[in-house]
Structure 1
């Protein structure tokens, strides 16, 4: 078999397109070299035809039950079992545990839709119709087999949610803004969530129904000049530089914080940051990060150490944030400490080897030895989350039909918390971008690692 034939065959198995229609209407071919590099990034052995085909056969070998099945509401729920012809239907039973907590059970034999095993196909059976939306767990048990087969069954709505006003085809208006560009005598040189609340009130009073926001994902507090909202450290967490410091409840309680902010030197720096034509990200970060840790110390002394209601609200946030929040907070804390020692530490690819991944023994020891540092960044995420929710609640209170609509970056930076803690969901040696077009005839490389569709499918999304 020729190399190109093997390459194209495996590329098709991997669902890689080998051509596309260009901005000029022509068919553009993807080079063999590009396909080969992409397949290598996805874990195929491209060193020879034989190894490429063998790795593809191993990678695409069907399990008895696929890891996931995604269906839209109302579609028939038909499940395929890849079994030999000797397997008897009477040996199998099923159990469905829904996201809502309901449990459904039955036997395979009475729900067979078709049997294609004689032609090398699957045995297909049907589950009850009209299942609720959600991520459900399907368990298939077989007599005399200790370990059952499991699948994630995902039932999606037919369409995305739309507010009632949009369903009624009402015309809604509102501005689209870059939050960091807002200037007031209240903020610290960058637009913040306090400014956003004021803007909500202003737009609502004029009959507006929404405010569009740039991505407000977490960036790199230790490296504030890495400020592109489209290259975030994580898309799940927030940019803590948008915190309205003086509105944090602990600010009014911290004599040390108020004394620092009220000093002549601090006020001079603050006014200079406000007056700057461009956002001075480094100065804004230094101003805020000289005060925010004081607020966490106040919170710890007044609430966390005494297990107050406010402390319990924080701990509930931490619990719900789970490992993802720990990844973000540990990354930010560790990055800050390493950057303080060496300003050239711009992200995890240049961390010392012992800290190069979240799971590394050195990282785990750092987390254990620096719990207050990690909790500080969890606290800051909690404050940011609370303040953005206050802005949305105000929009609803003012009668805005939509309120805040937030932009979503198309990916994450290759040097941030998500890639640092990644367990295979991202293809770290590839990058997404855009093909050549009239405005960008050379194409675009965005420097953002793509998600691995095969891993996403294998892990049930």
Structure 2
């Protein structure tokens, strides 16, 4: 490596870039100079070409040494806390006033003689001698988000202190319970009463049925706000916002205004509207555009009716006052509809977050505000039902948000707008993957005290008994694809994992939500070690374990794991069984026979399915999730990664409606056998 490359690598490492990574096969993949330069620019480094690197390196070093203290620090509840101070030597021997403002409003103030603090490092930069000192905080701060301020002669520094438990929330009976539940995307859950897709009423019916069989969990894909017109992006993993819900899933029949709004009733009961609902209901695919048009026609009438009902209008005003972000979101969506453009194409003032009344129609603002109010109420009622008789809803927090979405517009400092997220090339995707949404900026989110990230967690945890965290590796590092480059040229960018885990632990305890990290694929050992240390559940997907099947059979699920046969990104069990070679099927079949889950080795998919489910049900995994579509041997996937127009991703409805499959003897018998195995005591020490 020549001197120029070495300097570039030093600068990259100071910005948290990995200059090389190990691919899925264990090969070392160095990043090119072009990729590193582009990633540095996306991070905000002051350079345009390779010749600028020495100056940028000098500036970065000076910037870090002039940073008196980090913007965020973690205080684990069982450890003493130190704030690290970087000070010019002229200040390191002075007196300082310290102030700790607690989240609960209490304050602590004290005076510190910096001379007495231990020096742990020192250097000279640009003729100035710096020392690193460790400042201990007195006592133990209560759990929460606190603000530490230190005032020295001519210098004031602040740090957000996250005081958090070391471990994420675990239910009191966690070590003694082995839970199970069912999974299906809500758009795929069809019923006799649903419109273009399943809705909250269908999810409520599925929850009641699952609980009646002894299950305690119902899981689905993200239910977040989406662009279902222009731009059109129905993927639950590219939402319009991670802070608001998708009104596409509202249960219209449960809206209080429907009983009082004659105009909405007349439209709903009209022959033409009912004919439209019949077409939408009978389609094998969720028609998001057409279905949203139909639902919005009714909801707009109900919103207008709400404003004429004194009590309901007062409730809406009160909720709006308590949730100003909801009104901000409503105005954003209304502005998009009036401008007919995504926000990066708006006029300068609007693009930078300032909306005025003439930028949107008040009726559109009312609609978006009203549907978020309804969604909050309907999901709250559903989550209460789930928690009364079980662990609660199993919700999914996606990794990213649509690049034209509300979150990116409102929280531009929190995102790296000149890059996109993705995955490096592997055996299945030789060109890599570009997920086409901007990554969180590792320093931008720290400078804002993780405000946006905390808000996304609270939005989900207020309703989730279990929350799946998509791509858990992103807490440690994320694959960036700088603008203009391909996924083959991406670079891994590091994040402050400890700070993420502290926030997750704190928020999970506050909401009593168990956390499951999606740790599938090529995951560095340090990630799973951190998950174990902080008590996040892993995912155990059986087909991934069968690739290294030994004579003893597949690896057993860890106790703190969610066990399943597949995910939404994988083939269904029936397809997997068809595609697996004869030898592998026979080895698995013999293993299931030896364990007593099959009466005899078999190649029949339905028998193998039941055997695999019983194998997982009898395991020590404390959560088991069953894909409902596997129970009738569905072969079509819900999503084929790497495809866009080639396959109707996120659209296919289930082959059977809820009135049908809840009465099928095969489905009922399989779930009853799983319930018996899950309730059976395991006498081995967990």
TM-score by length of 1: 0.89
Q: Name the CA shift for 1:140/1:354 in 2 (closer, same or farther; >3 Å).
A: closer
1:342 alignment counterpart: none
Residues 43-67 of structure 1, C-alpha deviation per residue, up to 9 Å, x if partnerless? 1114223343244245434322332
Aligned length: 440
Separation of aligned partners in 2, 1:422 and 1:117: 36
Specify whether residues 117 and 2 from structure 1 end up closer, same or farther in structure 2 by C-alpha distance, changes over 3 A only: closer
Query: Are 1:353 and 2:347 counterparts?
Result: yes
Task: Give the direction of change, closer, same or farther, for the CA distance of 1:39–1:224 in structure 2 (3 Å limit).
Answer: closer
Q: Could you tell me how far apart the structure 2 residues matched to 1:19 and 1:320 are?
A: 47
Higher mean alpha-carbon deviation, 127-136 vs 229-238, is at 127-136
Hey, what's the Cα distance between the residues in 1 that align with 2:356 and 2:411? 15
Determine the C-alpha separation between the residues in 2 that align with 1:226 and 1:205.
Answer: 36
Correspondence list, 1:294-309, <5 A: 294-303=301-310, 308=311
Q: Does 1:86 align with 2:90?
A: yes
Pairing of 1:329-344 with structure 2 (within 5 A): 329-339=330-340
SS in 2 for 1:81: strand
Distance 2:420 2:439 in 1: 6
Partner SS state of residue 74, structure 2: strand
Q: Note if 1:243 corresponds to 2:238.
A: no
Which of 316, 319, 325 does residue 317 from structure 1 map onto?
A: 319
Q: Which residue in the other structure is 1:102 paired with?
A: 106
Change (3 A) 1:437 1:165: farther
Cα distance in 2 for residues equivalent to 1:92 and 1:312: 50
Structure 2 Cα separation of the partners of residues 272 and 218 of structure 1: 24
How does 1:281-292 map onto structure 2 within 5 Å? 281-292=288-299
For residues 104-150 of structure 1, give each alpha carbon's deviation from its aligned partner in whole angstroms, at most 9, with x where no partner exists: 2222139954134766432222112332221101122336x5x7432
1:254–1:298: 8 Å Cα contact kept in structure 2? yes
Deviation digits for residues 72-110 of structure 1 (CA, Å, limit 9, x no counterpart): 222221112222333366621211111122212222139
Identify which of 347, 355, 358 aligns with 1:366: 358
- Indicate if the aligned counterparts of 1:182 and 1:195 stay in contact, CA closer than 8 A: yes
Contact 2:338 2:361 (C-alpha < 8 Å) held by counterparts: no
User: What is the aligned partner in structure 1 of residue 54 from structure 2?
Assistant: 50
| CA distance in structure 2 between the aligned counterparts of 1:82 and 1:2, rounded to whole angstroms | 29
Please state whether the residue corresponding to 1:390 is helix, strand or coil: helix
Aligned to 1:232: 239
Alignment pair present for 1:121 and 2:96: no
Please tell me whether residue 430 in structure 1 is matched to residue 419 in structure 2. Answer: yes
- 1:396 pairs, out of 371, 377, 387, with 387
Distance in 2 between residues matched to 1:173 and 1:71, nearest whole Å: 35
Q: 1:440 aligns with which of 408, 429, 443?
A: 429
8 Å contact from structure 1 (residues 216, 229) kept in 2 = yes
1:257 equivalent among 258, 261, 264: 264
Q: Is 1:156 aligned with 2:171?
A: no
Deviations 1:243-270 (A, max 9, x none): 1112111111100000000000000001
Equivalence map 1:140-219=2 (5 Å): 140-142=150-152, 145=154, 148-166=156-174, 168-219=175-226
Q: Could you tell me the TM-score, scaled by structure 2's length?
A: 0.61
Distance 1:155 1:28 in 2: 38
Change (3 A) 1:392 1:122: same
Aligned partners of 2:91, 2:418: CA distance in 1, in Å?
43
Q: Structure 1 122/51 Cα, relative in aligned 2: closer, same or farther at 3 Å? A: closer
CA distance in 2, matches of 1:404, 1:117: 49
Q: Secondary structure at the match of 1:122?
A: strand
Q: CA deviation at 1:179?
A: 0.6
Displacement after TM superposition at 1:230 (Å): 0.5
CA contact 1:220–1:332 (8 Å) conserved in 2: no
Contact 1:74 1:129 in 2 (8 A): no
Q: Which residue of 2 aligns with 1:277?
A: 284
* Kept after mapping to 1: 8 A contact 2:250/2:375: yes
Change (3 A) 1:135 1:112: farther
**Does the residue aligned with 1:217 lie in a helix, a strand or coil?**
coil
What is the SS of the residue equivalent to 1:448?
coil
Let me know the Cα RMSD of the aligned residues. Answer: 2.4
Alpha-carbon distance between aligned partners in 1 of 2:115 and 2:309, rounded to the nearest angstrom:
61
- Aligned CA distance change for structure 1 residues 112 and 73 (closer, same or farther; 3 Å): farther
3-state DSSP of counterpart to 1:70 = strand
Match of 1:64 in 2: 68
**C-alpha distance 438-317 of structure 1, shift in aligned 2 (>3 A):** farther
In the alignment, the residues of structure 2 paired with residue 90 and residue 36 of structure 1 have an alpha-carbon distance, to the nearest angstrom, of 41
Distance 2:435 2:447 in 1: 26
The whole-number CA distance in structure 2 between the counterparts of 1:288 and 1:112 is 68
SS at match of 1:151: strand
Q: In the aligned structure 1, how far is the partner of 2:8 from the partner of 2:122?
A: 30
Structure-1 separation of matches of 2:94 and 2:7: 41
> Which residues of structure 1 form unaligned runs of 5+?
340-344
